[in-house]
Amino acid sequence: MCGACGSATDWATPFVSGPRRRGDVARLLTSVGHGVRVTGGPHGWTVTGRTGAATVASTLDGVVAAVAGSVRARSWSEVEQLFEAHEGRAQAYDDPYPDAVPHLARGPARGPAVLGCGADGRLHLRVTAFLLGVRVVPDGGVVSLPVTSRDAPFTLVGGGGSGLTVVGDS
């Protein structure tokens, strides 16, 4: 195996697989984190702090958790501003697995939608920003990320102290 597909145990693999998408995720997280540098690799990411200490993460949850403490955003509008500032610099890619739905616990659709998700080829970055927002926005309540412009639409739901769940819209 070449490692381009990422970790087989990561629910986000269909959305962040491949070196270009992992590189985009690394650049997004580096741009929003203060004092951290994130690099993508064949099997995940490496997060390096100001002191040079490094953390290796093989999953999207792991790399976002490693960076979350360095992100200053404290509201969904701030997370959206950070995402939008980075989004224009990222290249759009085709959805690599348009039939894939995240392998997460099923839950009810609830919460206001954040980070509007169009068919712009940047799903990997929107999923990353959503996961980051769920971790860093205190008392943000339950929010959702509807992903409807694909063969297998779904909605991610998270926040409010609950775990991340998915609602299949198909």
pTM exceeding 0.75: yes
Phi-psi region of 44 (alpha: psi -120 to 50; beta: other; left: phi over 0): left
Q: How confident is the model at residue 58 (pLDDT cuts 50, 70, 90)?
A: very high
Quote the pLDDT of residue 7: 47
Q: How far apart are CA 36 and CA 48, in angstroms?
A: 6
Considering the chain, what percentage of its residues have pLDDT values greater than 90? 28
Rounded to whole angstroms, the Cα distance separating 109 from 24 reads: 28
What mean pLDDT is predicted for residues 114-118? 64
Nearest to 134 by CA among 75, 57, 56: 75
Amino acid symbol at 93:
Y
CA of 1: how far to CAs of 6, 16, 37, 42, 148, in Å?
10, 17, 27, 10, 31
Give Cα 125 to chain centroid, integer Å: 6
Residue 95, H or E segment: none
The answer on pLDDT for 19 being more than 50 is yes
Cα–Cα distance between 1 and 103 in angstroms, integer? 22
